[in-house]
Every structure is written in C-alpha cells, then in structure tokens.
Amino acid sequence: LVEEARAAGVTRFLTIATQHKEFADTLEFSQQQQGVFCTYGIHPHHAGEEGLSDLELSKEIEQAAAEPEVIGLGETGLDYHYNHAPKVAQQHSFELHLKMAQQVGLPVVVHTREAEEDTMRLIDRALKRGPLTLVLHCFTGSSTLADFAVERGIFFGLGGVLTFKKSDALRAIAARIPENLILLETDSPYLAPIPCRGKPNRPAWLTHIATCLANVRDMSTGEIARITTENFERAFPKGGE
Ligand SMILES: [Zn+2]
C-alpha cells in the first residue's frame, strides 16, 4: 500500500494510534518505512478502557514522544455519536492528551463527532494555558466549528467525505478556509473517496481528494500537493525533512 501510494505521488504518511495495545506495532511499522510517521494516543472510543491511570498514560506519552517517528499525539477527542466510552471518560482523556501535548511540545490529532460544543470548550481551556498545534481530522463540522478553527489557526484534515455527492456544505467550507490550514488525509481504511466509494480506502487514493479540492478551490492539483505538503511540515515539524 505504501509503495502504491508513493508511486501516486504521496510522500509523507501519518499512521494513527488509537489504542495503547496497538502502539508497538504502529511504531515498528513507522520505523521500517521511509516517510511514514505515527502518533500515540487513545481514541475516544477507547477512552479509559485499558485501565491506564493518568500517571501511567502521561508516562506512556512522554516515552512515545521521545521516539523520532512519533510526531504527534492522538487520535483523541470526543465522539458523542457512538458513545463507545462514557462522555466523562472521553472528556477526561481528551484533556489529558491536550495537557501532555503542551508538555511534550507535539501537535494533537483531534476526532470530534456530534460533540462540537464540548470540543471547542476543551480546546479553548487548553489554549488559555499556552500554545498548542491542533488538527481537526476528517473535518466534517459546521461553519461555526470551521470559524472557530480558522480564528485559532487550527488545521483542517480533509478526506474522502469532500468528494461525496451530498457534501456541498463541506465543499463550501473547504473553498473558503485559508490555504495554510489545509491538510489531506484518507482515514484509511474508512471513507474511500469517489470514484472508489464503498471499498476499503487506500493511501494512494489521496490523489482523488487532492483533485476534488483543486476543483473546489480553483487551483491545480500540483498546487494543492505543494501546499498540503508544506502545511504537513508546519503542522508536524518532526515529520519535515
Ligand atoms: Zn477519527
């Protein structure tokens, strides 16, 4: 999959940790592959489920952050659509990740679904403490959340949903946000873009998302590729050259 994506012009990869127990494999894969980086974090679906205390999770984050391949924290955030973990546990875990990100100086990949108000509240609480780089991954939020992010210089991860027929509102947001805040992502194996919709997503299909975004913003696909690569390096400085 990585070779196929490289051949399609994808040069940087970020593979996302969602559970503590899977992190060793994620890290090992990043260490073996040129241009593949990873994050460490507990997805809101799994918040609290592995029984790590705050102290243990903080130590795990510190250790992970020392690895050259670990260039961010996450996924963390809030998912009130599925509520696989109780809201209180999700909020607690999200706050801990934000606090630790500020301590170790790494950006945070944020998952938010049907939880915009609490997401904005907890992000603002963290930003009051000090600076923090954030990515709203697979952005499918409202105009309110988009404005919130733009005002705070938060990055937008745009994925396959951008290409879906019913995504006019999302395309309108993608057309108007500043270009220096845009990142491309696949969320593989989920959310395959049109014309591959319904299949397991692959990193090479990032090109379909880039082409769609180029049309939406009236730019060339090459410009989109250049801008989003530069943005990746600003959002994740450890993943730069
Ligand atoms: Zn997510």
Ligand 1 centroid to residue 113 C-alpha, Å: 8
Ligand 1 centroid to residue 216 C-alpha, Å: 23
As a three-state string, the secondary structure of the chain is: CHHHHHHCCCCCEEECCCCHHHHHHHHHHHHHCCCEEEEECCCHHHCCCCCCCHHHHHHHHHHHHCCCCEEEEEEEEEECCCCCCCHHHHHHHHHHHHHHHHHHCCCEEEEEECCHHHHHHHHHHHHHHCCCCEEECCCCCCHHHHHHHHHHCCEEEECHHHHCCCCHHHHHHHHHCCHHHEEECCCCCCCCCCCCCCCCCCHHHHHHHHHHHHHHHCCCHHHHHHHHHHHHHHHCHHHCC
Ligand 1 centroid to residue 193 C-alpha, Å: 16
Ligand 1 centroid to residue 73 C-alpha, Å: 13
Per-residue pLDDT of the chain (241 residues; tens, 9 = 90+): 999 999 999 999 999 999 999 999 999 999 999 999 999 999 999 999 999 999 999 999 999 999 999 999 999 999 999 999 999 999 999 999 999 999 999 999 999 999 999 999 999 999 999 999 999 999 999 999 999 999 999 999 999 999 999 999 999 999 999 999 999 999 999 999 999 999 999 999 999 999 999 999 999 999 999 999 999 999 999 998 6
Of 163, 156, 164, nearest to 212 by C-alpha is 163
Cβ atoms 185, 159 nearer than 8 A: yes
Question: What's the pLDDT at 240?
Answer: 84
Ligand 1 centroid to residue 183 C-alpha, Å: 15
Question: What's the pLDDT at 241?
Answer: 60
Ligand 1 centroid to residue 67 C-alpha, Å: 23
Ligand 1 centroid to residue 226 C-alpha, Å: 25
Ligand 1 centroid to residue 72 C-alpha, Å: 14
Neighbours of 31 (CB within 10 A): 12
Ligand 1 centroid to residue 184 C-alpha, Å: 14
